[in-house]
Amino acid sequence: MATTAVTDASFKSDVLESEKPVLVDFWADWCGPCKMIAPALEELSEELGDKVTIAKMDIMENPDVPGSMGVQSIPYLVLFKNGEPAAQMRGAAPKGQLKQWLEGEL
């Protein structure tokens, strides 16, 4: 399962109302560290797709949700469970570290 693009308009249905946990990657095209972790997130979406949906939200195209959540630096990963933020990680990390963190939070 590939990562899913989420927008301000789809955030409620795609993330807050999701039956399973959703990891949202707040990112932007100009962000080098965001581009560095993108392949790892794609791989994790394949490996952990039955347990979690991995979604990406471009903060430049969708400013409302990141603004309401106080996103000030990217990449910013937020794990939502039952419609609520359950865990967060700021900054880039190697795939192994991302996977360990995510599996520990699921």
Among candidate residues 6, 31, 41, 44, the one labeled active-site is 31
Instruction: Respond yes or no: is residue 99 known to be catalytic.
Output: no
Among candidate residues 22, 24, 34, 59, the one labeled active-site is 34
- Measured CA to CA, the distance from residue 28 to residue 35 in angstroms comes to 9
Residue 59 structure tokens: 């903060």
Q: Exposed, middle or buried by CB within 10 Å (0-12, 13-18, 19+), for 94?
A: exposed
Instruction: Respond yes or no: is residue 50 known to be catalytic.
Output: no
- Measured CA to CA, the distance from residue 14 to residue 31 in angstroms comes to 24
CB 80 within 8 A of CB 16: yes
Active site residues: 31, 34
